[in-house]
Amino acid sequence: MTADTPSAVGASKLLDAHMHLWDTSRIRYPWLESGAELASSYSIEQYAGAAGSNVAAAVFVEAGAAQNEFLNEARWVSALAGQWKILSAMVAGATVSAPLSLDAHLDHLQSFSLVRGVRQSMENLELGPSRRAAIAYGLRMVAERGFTFDACIRHTQFADFVKIVESSPEVDVVIDHLGKPPVAAGIRSPEGKRWRHNVRQAAQLPRVRVKISGLAPEAGDQQTFNQQSDAFVDYALEQFGPSRSILGSDWPVSAERGARCTISGWSARVMRVVGGPGAEWGEVAYGAGATFYRLA
């Protein structure tokens, strides 16, 4: 293995496979319009300062812009990437649950070289049979373009989302934030038991990955986070293995909400759960994400 392969670099460097930026003066974000605590803009300069020297590359993930702003967001981030080499890939916004309008949108996204995948936040959607069918159809369209899909779901939706992926096995999927598990309730709770069952089911699907990210907001406070989060990370790693477990900071959301977990603090915690630096940590910290998002 040469020194410049992703897994070798990953032993000392990080790929942050889940970070956000937003600029409320350029783009409309409906979720920020009700006075949310994250309503101020978060810039690439702020991210670079928070990331420090150990983050070698970062993947921007769409930040909840209005649907008619998805392409504006892609243009803005693409321009930033031209100035900041740390931005290595983008997961753009796309409404996969509306396949009639999806086709033309995906055609537009193919003109952005930074875009490797798409995401639709589903955490507030009812995933009944008709919507599951529409999403499965949309995911097949995503796969036809060679894009990946980031799934933003809550643990209460996990079982329904597994059904969707079983109906669209062509697409490469990563489940963001471990499916937003019940960190506050704990892994031994009834909710935690259901989450474990769904993780096992998802891990049996070979094109599904899990993103080790975003647990701080689900914990709610620092003490709960410290006591409960490691068990969820450990279980996901056990089921998916290092080569299908991708590290992400969820900056700035996880740095500002709940337990307020920094980029360096989260990566150190996950490395400890993995078992310290080594080949497995190299996969989680860099290799698995670089493969999924097709980084050089």
Record the pTM: 0.94
Domain presence at residue 1? no
In angstroms, the first-to-last Cα distance of the chain is 15
Domain presence at residue 49? yes
Q: Residue 35: what pLDDT?
A: 66
Domain presence at residue 125? yes
Residue 12 has pLDDT above 90, yes or no: no
Place of tokens 């477990």: 245
82, burial (CB in 10 Å: exposed 0-12, middle 13-18, buried 19+): exposed
Residue 21's pLDDT band (boundaries 50, 70, 90)?
very high
DSSP states along 40-106: S-B-HHHHHHHH-TTEEEEEEE-----GGGHHHHHHHHHHHHHH-TTEEEEEEE--TT-HHHHHHHH
Tens digit of each residue's pLDDT (9 = 90 or more) over 164-185: 999 999 999 999 999 999 999 9
Say how many residues make up the chain: 296
> 11-15, 39-43, 239-243 — which one is most confidently predicted on average?
239-243
Domain presence at residue 119? yes
Domain presence at residue 152? yes
What value does the mean pLDDT of the chain take? 93
Tens digit of each residue's pLDDT (9 = 90 or more) over 73-122: 999 999 999 999 999 999 999 999 999 999 999 999 999 999 999 999 99
Q: Residue 33: what pLDDT?
A: 87
Q: Residue 6: what pLDDT?
A: 39
**Residue 173 is part of a domain; what is its CATH number?**
3.20.20.140
* 125 contacts 95 by C-beta, under 8 angstroms: no
Domain presence at residue 71? yes
Give me the domain span that covers residue 210.
Answer: 6-292
Instruction: Please tell me the total count of domains within the chain.
Output: 1
